[in-house]
A and B are shown apart, each in its own frame.
Chain A
Amino acid sequence: MSASLSGPGSATQTPGREPARSGLPRKSRDARYHAPITLTGLVVKVVLLGLVAGIAIWAAFPLIEAKYWVGLAILLATTAGLFYLYLTPQHIPAKYLIPGTIFLIVFQVFPVLYTASTAFTNFGDGHRGDKSDAIVAIQSSSVKQVPGSAQYPLSVATKGDPTTGPLVFLVTDPKSGTVSIGDADGLKALDAGQVTVAPGGKVTAAEGYTILNFGQASARSKDITDLVVPTSGGALRSSGLSRAYEGTAVRAYDEGCDCIKDSESGKIWTADESVGSFVAPDGERLAQGWKVNVGLENFSRVLTDPNISGPFFGTLVWNFAFAIGSTGFTFLLGMGIALALHSPRMRGTNLYRMVLILPYAMPSFAMLLVWRDMFNTDFGLVNNLFGLGVDWFGEAWSARLAVLLVQLWLGYPYMFLVATGALQAIPRELTEATSVDGATPFQSFKAVTLPLLLVAISPLLIASFAYNFNNINAIWFTTEGGPFPADNPRSGATDLLITYTYRLAFGAQGAEYGLAATVSIFIFAIVAVVSAISFSRTRRQEEVYS
């Protein structure tokens, strides 16, 4: 944003002279510049800039150590820019905008652009790294134990939580006694001082790692079996939970033909750069591929592939119904109750209000989970209370109804508060005047109260719509998108586009980040268009464009 501040014409201006701009009287600009610098202001400025310098120095050392020169250059440029900005008397708007903008660029704009760029790739499970990663993975996963394979005592360890953290192998060479640590990137020797080795050669403790005990290890036996540590001659794999063997790779990459050869069956898979996979003449693809640009293929898949476009448009319709329903019902109920309680003869309104806003003040993530369990078929409160046996989340329409009911409960107190505020702001004389003129209460509500109420509340309604359009918690904590039709486990009856995308990207069926990024671009476009239309209708009093 700082670049745009100089404006298109600034290059031609004499340095040091004020660029004359319209909009703000010159007099007040000058007055701002000549305002005396107070002592507090100076102290705060020195302390904050000192803090910036301190953080920059702290951040610089690891960058230098890792030889991340681009990162270091960005860090230095940012720090120098900040010092310049807060020491010069110019660029006043930038002084206020830059702090938030830096965070915005690093943690939102950059990730969003990165995500958008993956929409044009096949990034996902099986297509994560580059081609050499794929070759290593293919070779090491084809490792087989052959007679005479070297055996090692094995301990499984992790740096993180024993139940979820990434695993490493700690193996001891039976001949030399050296301990090595291995993960999917390869094998590395460890200092003898960092580890404790039991007499059998098994590692019992290692600095910085938690050794999994037998129970923890057997709980993660699948992860352990899947872990392949590439070595120069093949790869290390586990055999059981306490032994590892070094096997030889059956499949090997041949640079001459740019293909993978299987030494047992003689089959050949040739690299195909357009899909990022090794493909055999009979069309079989190896599971491990690499990331390539696929152009607009993801976009055309969303629009034309019947497996994706069918559910996509169905989900889109329900998504609109959900967002409109959530906003509309909460507004109607909230406004209705606000109208009922809005009367000069009404006593105890404060008491009502204190109790009514409780659903909004309760932690919503927890209450969503509570509602999920209240709709439980066998022992849920809703069925118990009304003597029903409805499988709420098992049928498409009852699940949708349940989700909207939960949204109504969570959201109406907000609308009630807002509507109460707006009602209090409407002068009583207006409604009194209509009743003097002989209007019924309903007529005066329709002609006076409602239009004024809508003027005040419609921006909040749009915001609520946009929020609910992407309200992942409301679905993920209750139905998780279900129920799912038997033939399509990817898209359920209550799925929003966002939960559908989330499942595409992180679901159990294998991650398809490229496709997920494409769908998120569609979501973005839809929300942007809807909001743009509704904002342009309500924006009349705004001075954004002044």
Chain B
Amino acid sequence: MTATTAPPRRGPASHARADRDGRHRSPVTWFRGGGLSNLVFLLPLILIFGVFSWFPIVRAVIMSFQETNLVSDPTFVGLDNFRQVLNDPLLWKAVQNTLYFAFLALLFGYPIPLVAAVLMREVRRARGLYSALAYLPVVVPPVVAVLLWKFFYNGSPTGVFNTILGWVGLGPYPWLQDASTAMPSLVLAATWAGAGGTIIIYLAALTSVPPELYDASEVDGAGLWRKIWHVTLPALRGVLFITLILQVIGTAQVFLEPYLFTGGGPNNATLTVLLLIYRYAFQNSLGGDYGAATALSIMLAAVLAVFSILYFRLTRSWSTS
């Protein structure tokens, strides 16, 4: 999937039009020049982005320096919110857990789809069946998938997984009910739900590998492994990198799994950064600490922005090369 975006095409006509707009404009020429219709077409965008994106972003920054709880008027407290969050022992626990989640997600979720896709590429009959089977979990609504796996993970000897593993003499495992196995269990379920999508992306990328490259390397006498190593993987380089960064950005914001599987337990073993933000803001029955919540989300955003920029750089450099 070496993306090749043609640079935006600007015909001579549009330049002419831009010149015609001129420098000095009265309301009349503004109107005649299409100023009103420009505005009409931009209005939905400006309204929606203004109210639901730009304004909240600015508000988040302001709120992170305020004490707000909807009960009393907000007051500016300087860096108190940041200090409070950074001093919260739970923050480091949450950061650790989130990194652990990301690490496990890479460990499970990175090689498996790759191997599966490379193998599936060689399937000659009924490849559609393979793809469909691999993709099936992806169409299950994520909440349903989590609730289903939660039931599978029942830690008693009569739980579904424990019964199955019991046939081969393994277990019973506590799954979600133990601080050391809870996180891997979450990641396993998340991988199940997500791997199919990744496989299909890789497959699409593999389909676009020019057959001539394989032909050429065969002329050089390359065997199967060398072809995979020298042709297949380099061809996937771009898409592999993209999925890597996307996965990092995605896992840094994991919420659904810890929230529904374990509520962050046992003993905060699955408390993630996003869950902590949610707790700050919404989990106290007497009113949320919105200042701490926005302060933490802004810190998280700063970290993720680095990845986003990296990502932009990469996709751009690939799409222009």
Answer yes or no: do A and B interact. no
Q: Which residues of A contact B (CB under 8 A)?
A: none
